[in-house]
Structure 1
Amino acid sequence: MRSIARGLGLGSAAMALTALTALAWPGTAGAAPTGTESLYAPSALVLGVTAGQDAGSGTVLRAVTLACSPTPGGTHPNPVAACAELRANGSRLDALAAPAADAVCTREWNPMTVTADGVWQGRRLNYTYTFANPCGFRNTTGVLFDF
């Protein structure tokens, strides 16, 4: 099978020059990102609240999307604050899901589970936290799961 470059009559030096020109010329597809674009890996999550102890078999009550890179966005009601919390805590989300220390809740067992699934700073993230009851969920300290 004949290569396209040879079929067009281009030698190896001409091919190299063409490739370099395409990458270096302003406005081409290979140009470096500008403006609000970022060289960092994207961060995007799907956050969910499920009635039940197991997110896989429970009833999904709510779900939102959260994108933090290059700019905060998604269907989360407060993406700027949620992304700031994620940046401050990294992938250690227990601090954001745990109920406040001064929360007063009954001891009933009516579990609710929150999940975060997606990519955080270029790495796969799969997080699950189960509250004993809706009271614990309503008294979380962060805004990440406040939707």
Structure 2
Amino acid sequence: MTSRATRIAGAAVLIGPCWAGTTYAHADPTTTPPSSTTVAPPTTTVPGPSSVTPSPVPTTTDSAPPTTSAPPVTVLPTTPAITPDPGPAVIVSAVTLTAVEAGSPPEFRFATLMCSPKIDGTHPDAKSTCDELNAVNGNFDKLTGTPGICPNIWRPVTIVAQGFWQGAQLSFKHSFPNRCIADHASKYVYRF
């Protein structure tokens, strides 16, 4: 024997007990409408080892709303997810400069440089360096130096630049005979 609860037209109704597929509906006493009509369902005899005749149970058939109700349910409208406009794409121009001077021990110098979206970095003259690189569109091979007199000493300096220029990956490596020649190979870029 089982019983189950369900809601019919907003009223709580208990369905059960069930014998051999016969169902009787019982009105929930907490939701009995003020004026209702009671109808007795037919009685059924269920065959079995001993005949059982369930007692008739009144069923409420009325369309009046129940005297008590469940708490109100607020249904919120669904809204589509709001995705912020990312705006125009930011084109990055940023490089890390490294200078390795041969010796015992070798001397290392480092500088960072960002030219876009803003000018920043540890390079001692970031603005002038960005202007110089913008003039050659970030192509280190096209940098023009300043004239100068340098000693004829073999102490190689290797300059490495890695990063991005106008959004494209950049990788540059060049060795100079000594630091003086490296400094004069550009106006500002290699002077860090």
TM-score category of the 2 structures, normalised to the smaller one: 0.5 to 0.7
Contact 1:66/1:75 (<8 A) preserved? yes
**Partner residue, 1:122:** 167
Equivalent residues in 2 for 1:128-139, closer than 5 Å: 128-139=173-184
Equivalent residues in 2 for 1:1-147, closer than 5 Å: 18-19=80-81, 22-23=82-83, 30-33=84-87, 39-52=89-102, 59-96=106-143, 99-100=145-146, 102-147=147-192
**Partner residue, 2:18:** none
Greater fraction helix:
1
The structural deviation recorded for 1:115 is 1.2
Alpha-carbon distance in 2 for matches of 1:85, 1:110: 26
Contact 1:50/1:59 (<8 A) preserved? yes
| Percent of aligned pairs with the same amino acid | 30
Q: Given the superposition, is the C-alpha separation of residues 108 and 99 from structure 1 closer, same or farther in structure 2, using an over 3 Å criterion? A: farther
Contact 1:116/1:126 (<8 A) preserved? yes
Please tell me the root mean square deviation across aligned C-alpha atoms, in Å. 2.9
Q: Deviations over 1:84-121 (max 9, x none)?
A: 1111112321233x654x43334332111111111111
Q: Give the 4+ runs in structure 1 shifted more than 6 A.
A: none
The structural deviation recorded for 1:32 is 4.2
Alpha-carbon distance in 2 for matches of 1:145, 1:138: 5
Q: Given the superposition, is the C-alpha separation of residues 50 and 120 from structure 1 closer, same or farther in structure 2, using an over 3 Å criterion? A: same
Determine which structure has more spread, i.e. the larger CA radius of gyration. 2
Given the two structures, how large is their TM-score scaled by the length of structure 1? 0.66
> How many residue pairs end up in the alignment?
117
Contact 2:145/2:187 (<8 A) preserved? no
- Quick one: higher RCO (CA 8 Å, sep 6+), 1 or 2? 1
- For structure 2, the residue ranges without an aligned partner over 5 or more in a row are 1-77
Given the two structures, how large is their TM-score scaled by the length of structure 2? 0.52
Q: Given the superposition, is the C-alpha separation of residues 70 and 94 from structure 1 closer, same or farther in structure 2, using an over 3 Å criterion? A: same
Q: Given the superposition, is the C-alpha separation of residues 40 and 60 from structure 1 closer, same or farther in structure 2, using an over 3 Å criterion? A: farther
